[in-house]
Structure formats: C-alpha cells, structure tokens
Amino acid sequence: MATAPALLECRGTDTQPLATGLGWFSIGLGLAEVFAPGPLGKLIGVRNNHTLIRMLGFREIAAGLGILAKEKPAYWLWARVGGDVMDLALLGAALTSKGTEPIRVAGAAAAVAGVTALDLVCSRQYSTGGALDRNHTLRVARSITVSNSPEECYRWWRDFGNLPHVLDHIESVQITGDRRSYWLAKAPGEKRLQWESEITTDEPGKAIAWHSVEGSDVENSGRAHFEPAPAGRGTIVRVAFHYCPPGGRLGAVFARLIGEDPELDLAKGLRRFKQLMETGEIATTEGQPAGRAQGKTLLDRIAS
C-alpha cells in the first residue's frame, strides 16, 4: 500500500495574501480620507463633505488594522464589504445632489464596485473551507452520505474516467496505466488545462488518493475516503481537492469573480454522484420540459 501524498505546496505564486493587500489598501485610503478630505472629495466629485469623509476614513483604518492583526480577518473583511455597500449608497445619493460632479462620482462608484468584488471574494475565502493557505494552495472538501456500500463507492471513484459525469470542470480523464491517468479540465476564459495524475494511496473499499506529476499545467491532488455510515445507512463519502490555481492567488480570485467556484463545483458533483449511485441516473432539465432524462441512464452509457 502506498503512503499518502505529501502536503501540496504551490510554487511560483504570489507571496502576499489578498487579505493583507486589502488591509494595507484600507489603511492607506483611510489616512487619505482623514488627513486630506478636501483633495479627495474633489477627486471623486463630492465637495463640502469633509466631516463625513473623515468618519469614513476612521472606519477604513479600523478595518485595515483588524485585517492585518490576523486574529479575526473574516470579521474585518466582512466589515469592509459593509463599508463598501455604504460607500456605494452615499455615492448613489451624491449623483442627484447639488454641488457634485456626476461624471467623477460615477467613476468613483465604479472603482468602489471593483474593490467590493475583491472584498466579497476574500471574505468568502476566509469564511469557508476554500481559503488559500500560506502555501497558496486552494483546499476544498465536502462529504455526502450515499446509500450504497463503501466497496461500490470506491469502485466508482477508482475509475477516474467516471469523474467527468459529475464534476463540471473535468472534461475528460483517460486511463493510461494501472496507477496513471491523463486529465483534461476546463479553465476560465474557455481555456483548457491538462495534467497526468498518479495514484498515491489505494485501499480498496476505504480510500484512494492521487496527485499530479511533474510538468502538469496545474499542480493538484485529491483524495476520497469511504466509511460505513451509522446504523448501516450506506457510506459517508469524503472528498477533498488541493490545487494551485494557474496565475497564483490572483488567478483564483478572478476565477471566482467570473463564476468558477471549486467549492460549489465539488458540492454539486457529490450530489450528482449520490443520484447516480442510488438511482442510476442524474436528474436534469436539459431539453426535457418535465425535467427527467429519457432513454439510457447514465450508468448504461458509462457501461457501454
């Protein structure tokens, strides 16, 4: 039996976390608002609101210091999101107020909206299991209970060629050897990523783990554990993926911004896996008004 793979560490990625960058940005913006409310107000097209701008500056400084303290970064990151919403509301009100410059205000609102998107992504990363760790590895894990036996679930996962049927981002997996396989995956911007994977742990009916080999487009690893559910109710399937997003930390951030969410993909994939194992097909509404698949089931197509 092979040993479990070593901790996946990404190389060649960004060295500073997004949260740290947002923390320093918040402090810098706050200092500008506190000590230069006049020039800043002129820049964004809002004049004669120095007191309000200073108050917003103190809020920014507090949020930035809270993020950099790293004790409860998620709390302060969500505080930034709340502050962004407040700023957008104030800028929206300023568009219809006298003494403002609509074009400058609209530009400021667009900039705030962009920062809000980053704040939302970073806040979500720190509030869920999909945060990038200090090695810049994105780790996602989910579990589900399936009525089938651990042996049945293991056999399905042992054939990696089944994975494209349940995971959206996996386009194809070709088995190239007893422990090796070739993977093709979808990436943001209609791109494709490819890598060769090697099985590192293989315990029939219990667990299987794998990782990409040297020279792959994206460093990644995964594991699936199968344990009997209490009272003989089937199997608890626990699946985890670790990977280094192409482009490093910013690559992961912008992938989330355009809708590529590995946590959601894994959760959806496990629900499809459960449906497939328990019913022999995956419920779909594609092309069917009643939402039921017709003809061969997916298990039939896999077997054919």
Other C-beta atoms within 10 Å of 3: how many? 8
> The domain spanning residue 295 has which CATH number?
3.30.530.20
Q: φ, ψ for residue 261 (rounded to 5)? A: -125, 105
- How far is Cα 269 from Cα 81, in angstroms, rounded to an integer? 30
Boundary-marking domain end, from 127, 148, 183: 127
In a domain, 8, yes or no: no
In this structure, what DSSP letter does residue 5 have?
P
End-to-end Cα distance, the chain: 31
In this structure, what DSSP letter does residue 166 have?
T
Q: Which residues form the domain of 34?
A: 18-127
> Which position has the token pair 């990644």?
220
In a domain, 10, yes or no: no
Do 159 and 297 fall into the same domain? Answer: yes
In the chain, which residues have pLDDT < 70? 1-17, 70-72, 99, 124-137, 188-189, 245-261, 284-304
Do 158 and 240 fall into the same domain? Answer: yes
Model pLDDT, residue 188: 64
Model pLDDT, residue 54: 92
Cβ-based burial of 98 (10 A; exposed 0-12, middle 13-18, buried ≥19): exposed
Do 122 and 149 fall into the same domain? Answer: no
For the stretch 128-140, pLDDT in tens is 544 444 455 677 8
Model pLDDT, residue 189: 65
Do 104 and 165 fall into the same domain? Answer: no
Model pLDDT, residue 1: 40
The pTM of the full predicted model, rounded to 2 decimals, is: 0.54
Do 81 and 167 fall into the same domain? Answer: no
Do 115 and 158 fall into the same domain? Answer: no
What stretches of the chain show up as alpha helix (H) in DSSP? Answer: 18-35, 37-44, 50-69, 73-94, 102-127, 150-158, 248-257, 262-279, 298-303
Model pLDDT, residue 303: 40
